[in-house]
């Protein structure tokens, strides 16, 4: 979140510091593994998505102009049911795109193997092993 000049916290730079949301103002912030964020951070992101002002410690209120992209490998519905992820945050994020694991899209294995190992070269035996691997 960052903090302003008047934060009053001993041992921290008195000039203040920009947080990620302030630094990304006018851009895009990628939030990886958002399902593991603390409830406090989930509330902050919920406020940002609802276009509310953020109250920084010791600073003026700030309304960031930022696009947030959230990603997680956790099943979102299960996380909401368990109470680790806020339903209202998930609803505000809006669009969910599920990318199936490679075991569910066998056709991509060869394409990815060839892309990432162009210089190495794969034998036919190696490619068959990749396709059989769970």
Tens of pLDDT, residue by residue, the chain (134 residues): 565 565 556 666 666 666 677 777 888 889 899 999 999 889 888 887 887 777 766 667 778 788 888 999 888 999 999 999 999 999 988 888 888 888 888 888 888 887 777 777 777 788 778 778 77
Size of the chain, expressed as the number of residues it contains: 134
Structural domains present in the chain: 2-98 (3.40.50.300), 101-134 (no CATH)
| 22 phi/psi in degrees, rounded to 5 | -70, -40
In sequence order, which ranges of the chain are alpha helices (DSSP H)? 20-23, 39-49, 76-82, 87-93, 107-116, 124-132
For residue 58, give the 3-state DSSP assignment. coil
């Amino acid at each position: 979140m960052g903090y302003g000049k008047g934060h009053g916290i001993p041992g921290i730079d008195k000039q203040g510091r920009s947080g990620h949301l302030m630094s990304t103002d006018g851009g895009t912030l990628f939030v990886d593994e958002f399902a593991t964020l603390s409830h406090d951070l989930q509330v902050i992101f919920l406020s940002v998505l609802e276009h509310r002002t953020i109250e920084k410690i010791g600073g003026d209120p700030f309304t960031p102009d930022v696009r947030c992209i959230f990603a997680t490998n956790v099943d979102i519905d299960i996380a909401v049911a368990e109470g680790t992820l806020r339903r209202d945050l998930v609803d505000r994020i809006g669009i969910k795109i599920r990318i199936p694991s490679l075991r569910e899209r066998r056709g991509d294995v060869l394409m990815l193997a060839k892309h990432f190992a162009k210089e190495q070269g794969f034998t036919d035996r190696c490619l068959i092993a990749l396709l059989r691997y769970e």
